[in-house]
Structure 1
Amino acid sequence: MAMSSNTSQHHTHQAHLLANYLLIGAASSCIFLTLSLRLVPSPCGLLLISLHALTTIAAASSAACPSPSDRSHAAHTTAAALTAIFHGAIAFLAFTRSIEFLSELRSYIREEDAIVILRLVGGLCAAMFCLEWVAMALAFALRFQEGEEEDCRNAKQARGFRPWQLEAVPVAWRKITEGPFRNRVTQLSQGGQLWFEVNKGETQQRSASVSSHHILCLEMLSKALSFMAPSPCFRTSGKTSIFPRIRKRWFGQHLLYQLGTLLLRPIKLLRGGSQLLGVSHFCSISGLNSSLQIELVPCLHDNYAYLLHDVDTGTVGVVDPSEAKPVIEALTRRNKNLTYILNTHSHHDHTGGNMELKARYGAKVIGSGKGMDRIPGIDIVLNDGDTWMFAGHQVLVMETPGHTEDHISFYFPGWKAIFTGDALFSLSCGKLCGEAKISSLRITYLAINSDIVNLINFEQSNSKFALSIEPRNKVLAEYATQVARLRQKNLPTIPTMLNKEKRCNPFLRINSAEIRRSLGIPADATNAEALGIICQAKDNF
């Protein structure tokens, strides 16, 4: 009966340790994923990270706790119950209110990537919710089994049975080692029992001098050390832990090392972004190669310049610098030199920083051949269909002349990203002039999973106009709500996905029956005529 009880308790203890180790791994993974959302400035994000850290600490403490009757064990169980409630709530919100939850976190990465990461966090939180309740149930089982064992010991003591006291072991061991067995004592652990071996030549003499008291001490030491081996027992009477302190200390140091490694890796990866928060932001590109980085640099009132950095070669370019000062500050922080200046067209809010940056860094200015006389400091002329190489990465030049005659867009097929300047905005486009309106939207023929990297942030009027002519578009309504929240928090709303713009942007939906019906566009109207009517309606909105 006692053997089966000990075996059951041992298995319960192992299951309890496993549940806590799984909790540590899941919570650490959640910390890594949460940091990858780049939401450190957000109070909600900090609370989420703190919750995962508390879960990790509680699980580690529970695993290292020597006895289920220890007071700290009760505190850990209480903490697990509270964190389990929050983990369940996070899992529910991550799957049912992803967009609203994401907006509260103030994540700076692309929506599609952020939702995937958030749902991974939600899945891990659901797993932790289950594991915490399992760990609490196992802790209760251990406490119950220990109570039964203690009741059994008390009953035996009441009948005159004297339990083996762990406190007597150091005294017994000192008497033995200072007595006849002092010279050579070898400890052999076999099946949880302690055996002693002495020199063969001295065996008879030393064995003859062993008193009955020494034999009693040997038995007590053997019994105590059999408890100290990995066994079902957790304590002896008197609340003395039978787990060696060195094991607990090693576990704590090992755990701290592992947690430090898990926390430092994502922090190192995100270090560049965290240093630039509030001044500039990294944006996420779906096909971004690991050697290429892109950084948003706020300029003027509502514009952005883009720093392109190739990690392998150190080449740095900037797209449409409206002014030089913010770009210089960003380059100084990263200790980089500027190699290229790329202009999509000749308007001053896209070329205003050209000459100062060129004078300071000796950078080459790249622009359209049709804008040679209007783009300040132009060095390299590109035209429609040309291919240019940026640090070994192919760049395709597309003429998009609707906004200005000299407007071009830079398409990076390796990134699946296109810098559109003022040719296309989120839910809108730049002011289109002349008969070249339709040609400025040729980017719609690119891969639908391409990123549109434009220079102007989302305007509320864009979504209002789009919803006014296509009110039944649910994707549009959801997207407008999400981006409006980002604008309220002064967070960037770019880049955007071409696939999403095709489903939401009225200037790319000229064949929509609802839009044509709302604006009274004739059924036989050409695409150019339909686009002209949409542009006129937007101007009058």
Structure 2
Amino acid sequence: MPVEIEQFMCRTDNFGVLAHDSKSGETAIVDAPEEAPILAAIKRTGWTPTLILTTHHHADHVEANLALKERFKLRIVGPEAEKAKIPGIDETVGQGSVVRLGEERIEVIETPGHTAGHVSYYLPASKVAFTADTLFALGCGRLFECKPPVMYESLKKLAALPAQTAIYCGHEYTLANARFAVTVDPGNPLLKQRAAKIEALRADNKPTLPTTIGEELSTNPFLRWHDPGIRKHLGMEKASDAEVFAEIRKRKDNF
């Protein structure tokens, strides 16, 4: 049976997530941006958390680690490369590591770029991935600690997941991402349709997540470095895929 997901807002634009394995009763918190909304979600669902899956060290993803650990005596899992920066960490993981949530297998994918040690968590049985600040709906994370080729390789890993994989990311940035995306992929009818849908969702204050790998492959310019239309629009028909990605990321930084 797939894990149950409870998604909710934290801070101003962070997403909080609980992932619950009903058979075992175990629950994971995916990142801990803010204690109060997480406690509200726990109360609303009745799920008692047993671990935190930390994706990276930024404060808006680990702020509530210690408070939640003290309250629930849970264990905190996070990337080995950032262990010194993650409050309360108990267990470190890297590429190929496996974490268990009851009988659910959670595979760790190293996805550096936004930070040097960022990881994503993939649940193949439930067809779900938590990509935090690596892959956003119609976007990707800002490159604070790595160069574009590093993020490009990370996105290639996520793009290779099955198309039906549901993607939960770290922030509600989709509207701004959509407005940028149409500037680099103006001839994409699927993108135009999606952008209109996103405008309507946000006008009603509704979330734009989850998305899927398939939807991102068809509309997210940060995964469409190979697309002839994008390459022609950028004047980069003969550039490498990594160079096209770097140009799109640079344009987004200045958008």
Scaled by the length of structure 2, what TM-score is found? 0.95
The residue identity in structure 2 corresponding to 1:298 is: M
* RMSD (Å), alpha carbons: 1.3
Q: Please identify, of 307-316 and 358-367, the stretch whose mean Cα deviation from structure 2 is larger.
A: 307-316
Please say if residues 403 and 440 of structure 1, whose CA atoms lie closer than 8 Å, have aligned partners that are also in contact: no
Distance across 1 between alignment mates of 2:46 and 2:252: 44
Instruction: Name the residue aligned to 1:500.
Output: 215
Q: CA deviation at 1:470?
A: 1.5
CA deviation digits over 1:432-489, x for unaligned, max 9?
A: 3314121220110111111111121143321122111211111111011111111111
Equivalents in 2 of 1:312, 1:437: separation in Å? Answer: 36
Aligned residue for 2:236? Answer: 521
Confirm or deny: 8 A CA contact 2:184 2:248 kept in the other structure: no
Residue from 171, 179, 194 that aligns with 1:456: 171
Instruction: Write the letter of the residue equivalent to 1:490.
Output: N
Gaps of 5+ in 2: none
Partner of 2:76: 365
Q: Give the superposition deviation at 1:386.
A: 1.2
Q: Which residue of 2 aligns with 1:475?
A: 190
Q: What is the number of residues matched between the two proteins?
A: 251
What is residue 281 of structure 1 aligned with on the other side?
Answer: none
Partner residue, 1:534: 248
Query: For the pair shown, which has the larger CA radius of gyration, 1 or 2?
Result: 1
Contact map agreement 2:174 2:208 (CA 8 A) in 1: no
Any idea what SS the aligned residue of 1:360 has?
Answer: helix
2:175 and 2:16 map into 1 onto residues whose CA distance is: 21
Distance (whole Å) between structure 1 residues aligned to residue 201 and residue 81 of structure 2:
37
The residue aligned with 1:293 is 4
Percent of pairs with identical residues: 37
Q: Indicate the larger mover: 453-462 or 424-433.
A: 453-462
Return the letter of the residue paired with 2:234. Answer: L
Contact 1:319 1:342 in 2 (8 A): yes
Contact 2:75–2:89 (Cα < 8 Å) also in 1: yes
Equivalent in the alignment of 1:440: 154
Whether contact under 8 Å (2:27, 2:101) holds in the other structure is no
Residue of structure 2 in register with 1:334 after alignment? 45
CA shift for structure 1 position 497:
1.1
Corresponding position: 1:408 with 2:123: no
Q: What is the alpha-carbon distance in structure 1 between the residues aligned to residue 65 and residue 216 of structure 2?
A: 30
1:324 partner amino acid: E
Superposed displacement of residue 345, structure 1: 0.7
Structure 1 contact 293–309 (Cα < 8 Å) conserved: yes
User: SS at 2:139's partner residue?
Assistant: coil
1:405 & 1:368 partners in 2: Cα distance? 10
Q: State whether residues 99 and 106 of structure 2, in contact with CA within 8 Å, keep that contact through their aligned partners in structure 1.
A: yes
Query: CA shift at 1:528, angstroms?
Result: 1.6
1:312 aligns with 2:26: no
Distance in 1 between residues matched to 2:159 and 2:56, nearest whole Å: 19
Distance of 1:414 and 1:363 partners within structure 2: 24
**Distance in structure 2 (CA, Å) of the matches to 1:459 and 1:334:** 26
Query: Post-superposition shift, 1:309?
Result: 1.3
Matches within 5 A, 1:185-334: 289-290=1-2, 292-334=3-45
- Distance in 2 (alpha carbons) for counterparts of 1:421 and 1:518: 29
Asked if 1 retains the 8 angstrom alpha-carbon contact of 2:6 and 2:41, the reply is: no
CA distance in 1, matches of 2:224, 2:117: 25
Residue 522 of structure 1: CA displacement? 4.7
Task: Give, in whole Å, the separation in 1 of the partners of 2:67 and 2:76.
Answer: 12
What is the TM-score with the length of structure 1 in the denominator?
Answer: 0.45
Query: Amino acid of the residue matched to residue 75 of structure 2?
Result: K
Q: How far apart in 1 are the matches of 2:28 and 2:14?
A: 17
Summarize the Cα distance change of 1:531–1:453 in structure 2 as closer, same or farther, 3 Å threshold.
same
> For residues 301-328 of structure 1, what are the alpha-carbon distances to aligned partners after superposition, in whole Å with 9 as ceiling and x for unaligned?
0111111111121111100110111111
Deviations 1:487-533 (A, max 9, x none): 1111111010110110000000001111112222250x222221111
Q: Deviations over 1:283-305 (max 9, x none)?
A: xxxxxx35x21101210001111
3-state SS of paired residue (1:372): helix
Measure, in 2, the Cα distance between the counterparts of 1:469 and 1:336. Answer: 43
Match of 1:385 in 2: 96
Matched with 2:227 is: 512
Work out whether 1:394 is the aligned partner of 2:108.
Answer: no
Kept in 2, the 8 Å contact 1:458–1:487? The answer is no
SS at structure 2 position matched to 1:464: helix
Counterpart CA distance in 2 for 1:356 and 1:378 is: 13
Instruction: Say which SS state the counterpart of residue 478 (structure 1) adopts.
Output: helix
Instruction: Supply the AA of the counterpart residue of 2:137.
Output: S
Counterpart among 423, 429, 434 of residue 140 in structure 2: 429
Which structure has more helix as a fraction of its residues? 1
Q: Which has the higher contact order (CA 8 A, sep 6+)?
A: 2
2:244 match: secondary structure: helix
CA distance in 2, matches of 1:540, 1:392: 45
Unaligned ranges ≥5, structure 1:
1-288
CA distance in 1, matches of 2:136, 2:202: 15
Deviations for 1:367-412, whole angstroms, at most 9, x for unmatched residues?
0000110111100111111122111111111000011111000000
